[in-house]
A = this chain, B = another copy of it.
Amino acid sequence: MKDIRVGLLGFGTIGTGTVKVFQENARLIEDRLGARLVLAGIADLDITTDRGVTVEAGILTTRADDLLTSPDIDVIVELIGGYEPARTFVLKAIAQGKHVVTANKALLAVHGEEILAAAAAKGVEVMFEAAVGGGIPVISAIKENLCANGFQSVFGILNGTCNYILTRMTNEDAEFSAVLRDAQAKGYAEADPTFDLEGIDTAHKLAILISLCFGTRISLEQIYTEGIRSVSALDIQFAKQFGYKIKLLAIGKFDGEQIEARVHPTMIPHNYPLADVDGVFNAVRLSGDFVGPVMLSGRGAGMEATASAVMGDVMAIARNILSGARGRTPAMAYRPGTIKTLPIKPMTEIISQYFLRFSAMDKPGVMAQISGVLGRYDISIASMIQPERQEEGGAVPIVIMTHEAKEENVRTALDEIDALSVVKEKSLFIRIESEIA
C-alpha cells in the first residue's frame, strides 16, 4: 500500500486537531483512500508545549525548511495563519513541487493570485476548504457538484465570534461591550478581536466565495465592510418587534453585469433559514440558476471541525496523486484564463430595504417632517414604531422599516433629516435582506 506523506506547518489549535485525525481515523482513511496518510513532520517554533496529543519526537522540528525541502513529503499543510512567514513558506513548498493545503483566508484574500499562479506554473495543487466556514464543505460544493450552475447570490454567516456575540446580545438583551468581555474571558473572542469584529475576517472569506461563485477577481478593498461594534441592544430589540434578527452577513450578488460585495450587520426575518444559525455556527446559502437555493451549515471554527476540512483537502490531493490526475479541478473553480474582473456595484447604487432609527423631539409634526424628507427621496415606509414618550419634552426614538430604496437616497435623506432642528442625534440605518434566495 502506497504512503502519502504530509508535513504540517504550525502546531497550534487546528494543527493539533489535524494530528488527531491522523491518529484516530487512520484505518478509516485507509479504507476509503486505498493508501496510508503519513504525518511525516510538524514544524513549529514551540515544540515543547504539551498539546494533549502524543507525536513521535523525531517528527517535530522548529525549522519549516526541514519539511519544505524534504524530498519525501508530498503535501504541505500550512496552519500558521497571517501573511508572513506563511506566504514565503507556501511559495517555497510550491517551488519544491509540493501540493499545499491551507486554512489561511487572509493569505488567500491578499496573496491568492500570486500563490495560485506559482502553483499552476509548477503543476501542483493548492486547496483551502478550511479557509471558509470551518468544517462546512462549501468550497468543494461550489467547485465540484454545483459546478454546472451559474450562481446569482451567496450569503454567509462566516465569523463565529461575531455570531456568538450577536446571538447572546439577542437572547440576553445585553449590550455589545458586556458580551464581548465575557466572550473574551470564555475564549470565544480573541484578546485583539479587531479582525473579527470589524468584519475583516468575514470579508476575507467573502472574497473567496465571490471569486469561486462568479469567476471574478476581487480585492479586499472592493468589499464594503462594516463590523458589529455599532450594533446596539436597542436596535436588536426593535428588530425583534418587527420579526427580524440582526446578523453580520456576507453578501455577494451577481446580476449578470455587476457584483455586489458587502459585509455588514443585516436584519433578516426571524423565520428565514439563516436566522436560526446561532452561536459559533456558520452557514452559507448559495443560489444557483438550476439548483435554486442550497444552504450548508455547521461548525465554523474550532480545532476538530476545521481539521475535518483540512484533511478532506489532503485526501482530495492524495486521490489525485494516486489516480494520476493532474489539474483535475481549477483552484478557483474557473480555469485561470477565464477568470474576469467584473465591475463592483458602488454602495450608493445598491437597492435594499432599510431599518431607520431617528432620535427626535416628542412633539406634533415631527413624523410629518421626517416622512416628508423620505418621500422626496422615493423612500416609502413599510412600517413604523414610535414608542411612548419616556420623559416630558425629551427625545424619543422613531423606528421605520422602508420598502426597497436606493442607498444613495437613504444616505442623502438621513443627512437632510439630521439637519432638522427636531432631530437630536445622528440617525442610524441597518440594511435588511428579506429576499434571500
Q: Chain A: residues with CB nearer than 8 A to chain B? A: 17, 20-21, 24-25, 28-29, 31-34, 129, 135-137, 139-141, 144-150, 215, 271, 273, 276, 288-299, 302, 304-305, 307-309, 311-316, 319-320, 322-330, 333-335, 338
Residue of B nearest to A329 (CB): B319
In the assembled complex, the CB of A150 is this many whole angstroms from the nearest CB of chain B, namely 5
List the B residue with the shortest CB-CB distance to A149: B308
In whole Å, how far is A282's beta carbon from the nearest beta carbon of chain B? 10
Q: Are B324 and A297 in contact (CB under 8 A)?
A: no
Partner of A299, one of B20, B292, B302, B327: B292
CB neighbours (8 Å) of A20 from chain B are 290
6 contacts between A and B (CB under 8 A): A25-B148, A129-B145, A137-B144, A139-B145, A319-B329, A323-B325
Q: Closest 5 A-B residue pairs measured CB to CB?
A: A325-B325, A148-B311, A145-B312, A137-B145, A291-B308
Q: A147: which B residues are within 8 A, CB to CB? A: 29, 32-33, 312, 315
> From A303, which residue of chain B is reached at the shortest CB distance?
B290
A290–B335 CB distance below 8 A: no
Contact status A144-B149, CB under 8 Å: no
Please indicate the chain B residues that have their CB under 8 angstroms from the CB of A137 in the complex: 141, 144-146, 294
Whether A294 contacts B288 by the Cβ 8 Å rule is no
**Is B31 touching A215 in the complex (CB atoms < 8 A)?**
yes
CB-contact partner of A334 in B32, B292, B297, B312, under 8 A: B32
Q: Are B305 and A298 in contact (CB under 8 A)?
A: no
> Given A135-B290, A140-B140, A329-B319, A308–B276 Cβ distance below 8 Å?
no
- Cα A308 to Cα B146 with chains together (Å): 7
Copies of this chain, whole number: 2
- Would you call the interface of chain A mostly helix, strand, loop, or mixed? mixed
Residue of A17, A20, A148, A305 with most partner-chain B CB within 10 A: A148
Please give the distance in Å from A310's CB to the nearest CB on chain B: 8
Contact, CB under 8 Å: A328 / B330: no
A418 to B177, CA, bound (A): 59
CA distance A126 to B436 in the complex (A): 35
CB A272 to nearest CB in B, in angstroms, measures: 9
Q: Name the B residues within 8 Å of A325 (CB-CB).
A: 319-320, 323-325, 328
4 other A-B residue contacts (CB within 8 Å) besides A141-B141, A145-B312, A323-B325: A25-B150, A31-B215, A148-B307, A292-B304
Give every chain B residue within 8 A of A295 (Cβ-Cβ): 295-298
The answer for the CA separation of A330 and B35 in the assembled complex, in Å, is 13
Most chain B beta-carbon neighbours within 10 Å: one of A146, A293, A324? A146
Question: In the complex, are the beta carbons of B299 and A296 less than 8 A apart?
Answer: no
